[in-house]
Structure 1
Amino acid sequence: MPRGNMTSLIQKIARQANVTFKHCDSSTSGDNKVFLENQGELSNLLTEIRAADLKIAPRKITSTPKTQSHSPPVTYMHICETKAFSMGVFLLKSGASIPLHDHPGMNGMLKVLYGKVSIRSFDKLDSPPDAESEIQFNPPLLPNQKEALRRSILRSIGEYTEDSGPCVLTPLKENLHQIDAVDGPAAFLDILAPPYDPDDGRDCHYYRVLRPVLENADKKSGQQEQEEMWLLEIPQPDDFWCGGEPYPGPVVTF
């Protein structure tokens, strides 16, 4: 049941997010004791949040009529945005996926409200000059694709439910991720700091995972975490788009 406190939990989360990220320097936040303490407080608050606190009812699995076949697989409820952070709720239909994408120079926290999601996270690595020219892929890359190639490490694969703690990303760690709804619809509260802003170099880019042709047949297989991969930057996939819907929960103010 929603909490009856005069100050809603989502308002407390928003205030703590503002405190956490207002003076956050993305290049040093991981080593900043005050930032980490504030982030811990924010994580504790996020752990408590449930769909009912935002007046959101879990969606049921229903057959999709042909008339709804062109409805968006993912929708977004905007809650608030400041210069320091943005916050909203993503709702995924059963079987929907938010493709692999990045958050340039941004921190983020994701808390599942209902359902289950699988999150696959990557770190970008610095590539030595012309490193990709020595790597072979199948099918081979086109000449103009080499500039869009990024070396990376598969950092983690995990499943999250409403009983899980938040999933955290930083400008350097787990900054790229793909989110898939598992066994039905799902929704999660999303905080990004600072918000996306193409004019300030924070645009969203999409990627496809490429595995190189291995010359060494003895290379270990079945590795999931810390596996080095290559990511090819691609346009937004045709089968993914995000619609909008009203946020029904408590108003957040500053």
Structure 2
Amino acid sequence: MPQRSEGSAMVPTSLVQRIARQALVTFRQPPHAFHDKHQQLLSLVRQARAADLKLLPPGCGSPPCRGTPPVTYMHICETEQFSMGVFLLKSGARIPLHDHPDMHGVLKVLYGKLRVSCFDSLDRQAAHSRPQVGAMLRSVLRSSAEYTDSSEPCVLEPDRDNLHQIDAVDGPAAFLDVLAPPYDPDGGRDCHYFRVLQGPEPREPNGREVWLMEIAQPVSFWCGTEAYLGPEVRL
């Protein structure tokens, strides 16, 4: 859909604007209307490329220097229904195994290659309680796959693929991230980190049970910020 700019000229609405508007509609919908709206959102997200957000892939280079964040985040927009931004991973960087309490999510690689390893909790009551460091969570390794900018989006649901680990493979990588609703520590939607205690590591065959232990945020991981310079989003 075109939008009017100064001087009454009509210019095309950017893809990132359309994704944001569709996310707003999707996550406002009652449950019976969610599926169709979610499919429309995925249809838009799968089209996203680095150029749509004015991102320039950096050279492969070497792993991040000591003292620089391995991962940075570009904030695009946030409402009560969803948040949207871009994560940029330096070569060799990892976003450790973490959860998304009662949240939906869509991840779309914009450049580079990512390995995404997804786990499901086998104890729903524990998964929906407030975890504590040292708590154990019986889970299953649901999938471990590599994604590029030509891959389908990686989709997570409140009870499926909700815990995942993200690794940059063979160089730097970036992905568009849509989460609904946004993280809200005061509302019980904080991010918790986990370590595989017993069972397969993320690269081993899928479908096997694992024990995860909640841990504090790993000291090797922290996230900086970068300015978003892509098309403006208005909601």
TM interval, short-chain normalised? 0.7 to 0.9
Please say if residues 127 and 151 of structure 1, whose CA atoms lie closer than 8 Å, have aligned partners that are also in contact: no
Q: Give the superposition deviation at 1:63.
A: 3.9
- The match for 1:247 is 228
* Aligned counterpart for 2:23 among listed residues 12, 17, 24: 17
User: For the residues of structure 2 that align with 1:91 and 1:70, how far apart are their CA atoms?
Assistant: 16
* Aligned counterpart for 2:211 among listed residues 230, 237, 245: 230
- The match for 1:169 is 156
Please say if residues 153 and 226 of structure 1, whose CA atoms lie closer than 8 Å, have aligned partners that are also in contact: yes
- For the aligned residue pairs, the C-alpha RMSD in angstroms reads 2.2
- The match for 1:208 is 195
User: For the residues of structure 1 that align with 2:134 and 2:178, how far apart are their CA atoms?
Assistant: 31
Q: Give the superposition deviation at 1:69.
A: 2.1
User: For the residues of structure 2 that align with 1:246 and 1:128, how far apart are their CA atoms?
Assistant: 39
Q: Give the superposition deviation at 1:224.
A: 1.5
User: For the residues of structure 1 that align with 2:225 and 2:124, how far apart are their CA atoms?
Assistant: 38
AA in 1 matched with 2:104: N
For the residue of structure 2 that corresponds to 1:183, the secondary structure is: coil
User: For the residues of structure 2 that align with 1:241 and 1:166, how far apart are their CA atoms?
Assistant: 24
- The match for 2:129 is none
- The match for 1:47 is 46
* Aligned counterpart for 1:185 among listed residues 172, 176, 182: 172
For the residue of structure 2 that corresponds to 1:57, the secondary structure is: coil
Change beyond 3 A, Cα 1:229–1:63: closer
Q: Which runs of 5+ in 2 are unaligned?
A: 1-9, 127-131
Q: TM-score, normalised by structure 2?
A: 0.87
User: For the residues of structure 1 that align with 2:106 and 2:186, how far apart are their CA atoms?
Assistant: 23
Q: Give the superposition deviation at 1:62.
A: 1.9
User: For the residues of structure 2 that align with 1:125 and 1:23, how far apart are their CA atoms?
Assistant: 28
Runs of 4+ in 1 over 4 A off after TM superposition: none
Instruction: Determine if the alignment matches structure 1 residue 153 to structure 2 residue 140.
Output: yes
AA in 1 matched with 2:56: A
State the percentage of identical aligned residues: 61
Q: TM-score, normalised by structure 1?
A: 0.81
- The match for 2:183 is 196
